[in-house]
Structure 1
Amino acid sequence: MPETPASSLSQTDLQRLTALEKPLSESGFAYQPAADMRPLLEQFGLKQWEEFAESWNHLGVDRYMADGGRYRRRRYATFSLTDDGIIRKPHQPHYQSRDYNTLNGGIERWFKPVTPAIGQNPALLAILALTHRVATDLTPATLQPKAWHTEIHQFRIEASPDSAGQPTPEGLHRDGVDWVCVLMVNRENIASGETTIHDLNRKCVGSFTLTQPLDTAFVNDSRVYHGVTPVKPVDPTRPAYRDVLVVTLRHE
């Protein structure tokens, strides 16, 4: 799958890109609201968003939750991102050491794969292309890999009247990668879900809540910790859930 060219960004879109990259470079994280993300992603080929978002209705239960919870649904895929394009890799397990995930780390976790159609969806490819552009812009040339190992996670966190949903059940954490992108897909009947950012001394240095589809957070994983507060239903009689896409990049 070739990566969408982005060499012809308008002056306005270059300003949007700078508004994202400047705080990420300076502080290790950036929050970009949907009003700025959507037009920028459109320059990278964003289309078929409705089809992409609807796919969150077809995830599998995460059965690796060490806390016994059944509130998380997900699908997973890996890609290779290079200057030449985006290539999906064969399905493989997700692994984090217990140094980074004290709750669920230390084992290979096999999740349902992202479907072939969603793996080629232009909305996903646009998000990957933009994330690759940001990582390339902010990584010194001498440290840039020939290919970024990229993992994508479709997450749905469900909340019920008697049990809050835990977007980050492992608590405040780092992911053991280079770059993290968290993009809001949908919030349905939930309260809270505030993202907090902490420096390496675990001092809080920022917070925000992803509320609108395409609200996005970018994180330099080597510089900050991040976490998300539990979500609860607003109306206890209706389904309540938080859908996000998480993209991580690390050196292959």
Structure 2
Amino acid sequence: KYDSALGMMLSVFFGFGLVLLTFIQKRPDANQAGLDTYLFGQAASLRVSDVVMMAVIAAVALALVYVLWKEFKVLSFDPDFGRTLGLPIRRLDIALTTLLVVSIVIGLQTVGVVLMSAMIISPAAAARQWTDRLGRMVVLSGVFGALAGVTGAAISSAQAKLPTGPTIVVAVSFIVGVSLLLAPNRGMVWSRLRTWRAGRRLRMDAVLMDLFLLATQHDSPEHPHDRRVLDAMSFPRGATKRNLRLLADRGYVQQIDATRWALTQDGTDRARMLAHESPTDWKLA
């Protein structure tokens, strides 16, 4: 309910603000309002004094986060547990919200109030894909945010009439996209690759167990069997030959002739392990 209400309030008041912006822009004194700069930023107008002030405020905010790091972690993950420890959860919540507001105010002149939401969420979302530790995530999000700022400013300065704020947001969005795709643990590419490898391993083990099952019907576990029999037992049927070759590359099976395959000793041991059998329980050993 809280998230739904927050989303509704954001969308409603943002739309109301755009309506007011359209109304104000039609007035003869619209240029004096400066709403475009407030909404979308104007990084080109930053002066050295502005940068110094932003750096000082950011340093103070980082110092407070460092001092209250443990308390903020408890507040973020389990405020009820924090209350049992006697922590002033209400005050900590106000402090964390104040730091968030300060961060937004710092970035207003650079990317504006609209795009600042992306600068708050996107670096953290990108960092989350690379680590499961909160401390590393905070450091990585800062690195990603700084990298996006430098990259966006450099691209904007190299191209005429290219706004700096939106370019920075595009840069951080690119970092998020790369992280979602290529992060080792959570990236979609590596996740698909792990799923494909797991599926291939399961199909290979299924063919190996089929050979093992057929071997129990003969006097020797190395008795060869026709591939067409394995085709009838396996699913999908067309993949039996490929799986047999993969098993042969690993030394689990051997090809006897054009169509017949047999288990090796390593393949027999592997099949016993998959069947949760001890080698001493194998009746043909």
Same fold flag (TM > 0.5): no
Structure 2 length as normaliser, TM-score? 0.25
Considering only CA atoms, is the larger Rg found in Structure 1 or Structure 2? 2
TM-score by length of structure 1 reads: 0.28
User: Structure 1 or 2: larger strand share?
Assistant: 1
